[in-house]
Amino acid sequence: MADHTHSLQQQVAIVTGASTGIGRQTAFALAEAGATVVVNYIGSRTPADDVVGQIKEGGGRALAIEADISREDQVEAMFKQAIDQFGTVHILVNNAGIEKDCAFTEMTLADWQKVIDVNLTGQFLCSRAAIREYLRRGPQPGISKATGKIVCISSVHQRIPWAKHANYAASKGGVMLLVQTLAQEFASRKIRVNSVAPGAIKTAINHAAWATEDALDKLLEMIPYGRIGDAEDVGNAVVWLCSDAADYVTGTTLVVDGGMTLYPSFSTGDG
């Protein structure tokens, strides 16, 4: 008998920052599970069109929408366009994020504010728009057990302090409690809110950490599982959290890090 617990058929998903990296692979994973995918992007349209094209070639449905998620008007316009096109939204993946690393004493207010605006305020704006739509639409039990799902892409740095990345770590710590608070507030309305906290994932944002053999060897010292993660690892986790297989899961963080948060320097038991 076929297992339909991971199926996202008839569901519409918005993935922010979906033209590259983790967002790109998450869009592919959601489409493979049957979802219609809104590919959010900013800047060059070509990578977003490539994602849409590949999804359509595979028999799926997708639409690219440009929006700066730190801008309220652009977020509202993106959701309106998606709802006008597809009728509603069932899934939001808050993936878009940036880094602007700097020694704390040299960090400008602009560098602090930009990271908070995208990584935290952007997740607030998109989550608010999604929840408003879920409440407007109401349950569709024939499509999904939950009225709506949100998955926020956080980071192991919601737990691990990170020198010279105070803005980034603060934004991800904020995401953690945003997720928990929204999950608490809307669980009674059957809206599930969770997060995925990736560790070291092979994407352009951390290219310097794995681009050379020496850099990769140093990075692997922090990963007990012995490999750097792929964006597909995160995408697969997102699909599970969005599926009915995870219907009793809300307010939690699924850490996808090969054991980075297990304090590998203590693994020998010495001392």
Question: What band does 213 get if pLDDT is binned at 50, 70 and 90?
Answer: confident
Query: What does the pLDDT read at residue 271?
Result: 52
Mean pLDDT of the chain: 94
Q: How confident is the model at residue 166 (pLDDT cuts 50, 70, 90)?
A: very high
Reply yes or no on whether the pLDDT at 118 is more than 60.
yes
Model confidence at 185: pLDDT above 80: yes
In this predicted structure, the answer to whether residue 6 has a pLDDT above a threshold of 90 is: no
The 10s digit of each residue's pLDDT in 61-109 is 999 999 999 999 999 999 999 999 999 999 999 999 999 999 999 999 9
pLDDT recorded at residue 4: 58
Q: Is 168 a catalytic residue?
A: yes
Task: Give per-residue pLDDT as tens, 192-211.
Answer: 999 999 999 988 767 666 67
Residue 233 has pLDDT above 50, yes or no: yes
In three state form, how does the secondary structure of the chain look? CCCCCCCCCCCEEEECCCCCHHHHHHHHHHHHCCCEEEEEECCCCHHHHHHHHHHHHCCCCEEEEECCCCCHHHHHHHHHHHHHHHCCCCEEEECCCCCCCCCHHHCCHHHHHHHHHHHHHHHHHHHHHHHHHHHHHCCCCCCCCCCEEEEEECCHHHCCCCCCCHHHHHHHHHHHHHHHHHHHHHHHHCEEEEEEEECCECCHHHHHHCCCHHHHHHHHCCCCCCCCECHHHHHHHHHHHHCHHHCCCCCCEEEECCCHHHCHHHCCCCC
- Catalytic residue from among 41, 168, 225, 248: 168
One-letter identity of residue 145: K
pTM assigned to the model:
0.95
- What is the predicted pLDDT for the residue at 1? 34
